[in-house]
Amino acid sequence: MTKRRSWAEPWKIKVVEPLKMTTRAEREAAIREAGYNTFLLRSADCYIDLLTDSGTSAMSDHQWAGMMLGDEAYAGSRNFYALEQAVRDHYGYEHLIPTHQGRGAEHILSQLLIKPGDYVPGNMYFTTTRLHQELAGGTFRDVILAEAHDPASEHPFKGDVDLAKLEALVAEVGAERIPYITIGVTVNMAGGQPVSMANLHEVSAYCRTQGIRVILDATRAVENAYFIQQREPGYRDQPVAQILRQLCDLSDGATMSGKKDSLVNIGGWLAVRDPQLAEQARNLVVVYEGLHTYGGMAGRDMEAMARGIVESVQDDHIRARIGQVQYLGYKLIDAGIAVVRPIGGHAVFLDATAILPHLPREQFPAQALAAALYVESGIRAMERGAVSAGRDPKTGESRYPRLELVRLTIPRRVYTQAHMDVTAESVMEIFDQRERVRGLGFVYEPEYLRFFQARFATVGGDGIFA
């Protein structure tokens, strides 16, 4: 029998940043001023900030040392070549086009490959990815397994593509109208759920026969590789770095938000194998992002990302990262709180429709739950439900995805186990008062990515608690 080992972090803390505690009255005023949208709160008014794992990581001493080696040349910075090498070594793509962050890469790729009237399948939507596809004239089609839409399903690879759905789309519109498929590894909106290597093999083989490119959204691919190591037969003895390469080998290219897996505060990239597509991307990136050897990043940012990539694929790192997320997740499961199962890679997702059954979908239970959690505890979370899903561009109707979630997103290397304990206790506190939480209605709704800047008012009285 092997002894059970803790997920304790493979680092110690060198620098600390004080957290501010606020009073309940201050938080009530702050959330009202923010229109009950946690994106509009000031960070200084948040105690434990679980809004996102994007750009919120703590960098290592090695990364900070690299910041001093920034070569801020306009063209041909040595840090670009270091980043290009790190991407070639660990993701295996020959051609790297840096961008300011992930959506910059999505924009370039969508503009290059999508023609009006095209369809782009994907294993569940992501907000910015789908919008860029739509703005390029494409229509997104969800081809994820049905289990992904069921928060209680324990399927180990809920990110998998349902090949029958993909084949049906090809039969319906023709492969020539499908320039590529986007595979999120892991799938953010499904709860940070992974794709299996076996499924990616199948999808990749099928797409090759149809002439459809396979593009990974590699934003959290290292987390996906860790789940493959832990859950998929035959991978237990392989290092995560090796599994990551195998995942990427099954694709034609990737878009990347370096702000997640790669342990940096800003940056992203598009990477492809096709030299012609790479040349077109290099030409377009100068229009929107910057020269093709910096793409919107400072030299120092590229160096930090090159170093962050190397750190991110270490087994010790990723085991501790996901270990911490699971620690919080199982605490909530043990307390009887409805969360998306299994626990995902970057966050624990509360099932707001299960927790607040008295609120109709039109009153945005997840948005309300996030606001209530903030007022109760100062913890900032994010809505991932109908507000995030936005409106259908053709019908103008609000989309109501089956999943109506609040995401407790864990920044990498930032918070301690005690912070996770406080977070769990705060969620339990809300759970005890759940009948008192009021619904929300829009008072301002922006046209694009409405969740970022929308404002709400409470329904049936003032304040998020009745």
Catalytic residues: 74, 126-127, 217, 260, 384, 451
Minimal distance, residue 120 CB to ligand F0G, in Å:
14
Binding status of residue 129 toward ligand F0G by CB under 6 A: yes
Q: Which CB atom, from 194 or from 439, has the smaller least distance to ligand F0G?
A: 194
Residue list 18-77, contact with ligand F0G (CB under 6 A): 52, 54
Please report, for the chain, how many H helices and E strands are present, in that order. 17, 12
Partnered with residue 456 across adjacent β-strands are 442
Partnered with residue 270 across adjacent β-strands are 97, 255
Minimal distance, residue 174 CB to ligand F0G, in Å:
27
Minimal distance, residue 272 CB to ligand F0G, in Å:
17
Label residue 396 exposed, middle or buried (CB < 10 Å: 0-12, 13-18, 19+).
Answer: exposed
Return d(Cα 90, Cα 70) in angstroms, integer: 22
Minimal distance, residue 51 CB to ligand F0G, in Å:
7
Binding status of residue 128 toward ligand F0G by CB under 6 A: yes
Helix, strand or coil for residue 170? helix
Pick the binder of ligand F0G from 229, 257, 324, 388 (CB under 6 A).
Answer: 257
Residue list 287-316, contact with ligand F0G (CB under 6 A): none
Residues in the interface with ligand F0G (CB under 6 A) total 15
Q: Which phi-psi region, left, alpha or beta, contains residue 137 (left: φ > 0; alpha: ψ -120 to 50)?
A: left
Q: Which secondary structure element, helix H or strand E, spans residue 31, and what is its range?
A: helix 24-33
8 Cβ contact partners less than 8 Å away, ≥ 6 residues apart: 320
Label residue 232 exposed, middle or buried (CB < 10 Å: 0-12, 13-18, 19+).
Answer: middle
Pick the binder of ligand F0G from 70, 98, 151, 184 (CB under 6 A).
Answer: 184
Q: Where are the beta strands (DSSP E) in 4-128?
A: 95-99, 119-122
In this structure, are strands 268-272 and 253-257 parallel, antiparallel, or unpaired?
antiparallel
Return d(Cα 34, Cα 42) in angstroms, integer: 9
Q: Which CB atom, from 66 or from 267, has the smaller least distance to ligand F0G?
A: 267
Single out the segment in contact with ligand F0G by CB under 6 A; choices: 35-43, 123-131, 206-214, 225-233: 123-131
Pick the binder of ligand F0G from 63, 133, 196, 219 (CB under 6 A).
Answer: 219
Which residue reads 């399903």 in tokens? 153
Q: Which CB atom, from 91 or from 170, has the smaller least distance to ligand F0G?
A: 91
Binding status of residue 188 toward ligand F0G by CB under 6 A: yes
Please say whether the beta carbons of 21 and 378 come within 8 A.
yes
Pick the binder of ligand F0G from 36, 47, 119, 126 (CB under 6 A).
Answer: 126
Q: Which CB atom, from 54 or from 363, has the smaller least distance to ligand F0G?
A: 54
Single out the segment in contact with ligand F0G by CB under 6 A; choices: 100-108, 285-293, 322-330, 432-440: 100-108
Binding status of residue 103 toward ligand F0G by CB under 6 A: yes
Pick the binder of ligand F0G from 259, 307, 380, 438 (CB under 6 A).
Answer: 259
Residue nearest to ligand F0G (CB): 102
Pick the binder of ligand F0G from 84, 160, 162, 217 (CB under 6 A).
Answer: 217
Q: Which CB atom, from 52 or from 367, has the smaller least distance to ligand F0G?
A: 52
Please say whether the beta carbons of 314 and 20 come within 8 A.
no
Q: Which secondary structure element, helix H or strand E, spans residue 253, and what is its range?
A: strand 253-257
Residues in contact with ligand F0G by CB under 6 A are 52, 54, 101-103, 126, 128-129, 184, 188, 217, 219, 257, 259, 268
